[in-house]
Amino acid sequence: MMPDKRQPPPSLSLRRLAAELRHLRAAAGLTREDVADKKGINAATLYRIEKARAKPQKRTLIALLDLYEATDAQRTDLLAIQSGSHDRGWLRPYHSELFEEYAAYIGFESEARTVRNYESLFIPGLAQTEAYAYAVVKGVLPTATPKEVERRVQVRVERQALLTKEQPLRFWAVIDEAAIRRTVGSREVMRAQVRHLLQLMEWPHVTVQVIPFAKGAHAGMAGSFVHMDFPDPADPELVYVDTSTGDIFLESEVEIRRYKSMFEHLQAVAEGPNDSVELLAELAEARD
């Protein structure tokens, strides 16, 4: 038997570094060929760096940061990742008030092709109304300042632009009925939230399924998770798990298979999309 010569998946920190360099180059309005002309960095080498297939040397990274006019904060974070001293990820200045893991999640989500999200207690963030998001953040983070709450809500709402861009994110959500039944904010907030879900379900790239209480125990009761894949097949899939002790990213093949299988099981247990529409419509009417 021939040995398996496949390259191991890149580390999460290397993927974060690659993603940030892609964003910085795009923000500077430069192509890879432009970078090659201006800095003498081979376009093929830059491609490998931006796809997390090669770790840039420190001098190469500094040259790129100079060209992209990176801020001091960006330089500090990205050089720390390059040196291996900042394995917990990076923070873009825009998200500097957020937890590192959440900022990293936003970065990966913005580049994903498909997001599959199971939620047991909340409406998924990509489907939340602003009023619902405000009530959730305020309730989950009771010690947060009004500014922190406002910032988190703003970021959550702006994430939803992924569903309306020219090539929208494909979004498949499975939600436990508990998330629909729980009154977050007020009856009016929940009525508007459920109606918003129904509107989203009219879009061809959005699918929502609900697991009714009557289905009893199911695999998702262990907790919520997100599975995402990316347009480039060379980019390994990711699973994100939000826990009370911190957020976790999983990328090994064994872990990916386990969560993909779990999501397929939840899809089978849940009501189909059409029946879920009927259930949500009944819940919306019940709150009138």
Domain boundary among 65, 90, 115: 90
Burial per residue of 197-230, b for 16 or more beta-carbon CB atoms within 10 angstroms, e otherwise: beebbeeeebbbbbbeeeeeebebeeebbbbbbb
Whether residue 84 sits in one domain with residue 36: yes
In a domain, 19, yes or no: yes
Q: What is the pLDDT of residues 6-34, one digit of tens each?
A: 344 456 677 778 888 988 999 999 999 99
The DSSP secondary-structure symbol of 71 reads -
Q: In this structure, is residue 66 part of a structural domain?
A: yes
Note the pLDDT tens digit of each residue in 251-285: 888 999 999 999 999 999 999 999 999 989 988 77
Q: Are 184 and 114 in contact (CB under 8 A)?
A: no
67 and 145 in a common domain: no
What is the model's pLDDT at position 13?
Answer: 73
Number of domains into which the chain is organized: 2
Residues 31 and 163 in one domain: no
Measured from the Cβ of residue 29, the count of other Cβ atoms closer than 10 Å reads 7
Distances (CA, A) of 181 to 143, 187, 193, 211, 264: 25, 10, 11, 12, 24
Give pLDDT tens digits for 82-121: 877 544 333 333 344 555 557 778 878 888 999 999 999 9
Question: Which CATH number characterizes residue 253's domain?
Answer: 3.30.870
- Whole-prediction pTM: 0.73
Q: Give bridge partners of residue 175 from the DSSP assignment.
A: 119, 210
Same domain, residue pair 139 and 233: yes
Within-domain flag for 116: yes
CATH number at residue 34: 1.10.260.40
Q: Are residues 69 and 161 in the same domain?
A: no
Helix (H, G, I), strand (E, B) or coil at 87: coil
pLDDT at 76: 86
Domain check: are 29 and 160 in the same one? no
Range of the domain at 140: 97-286
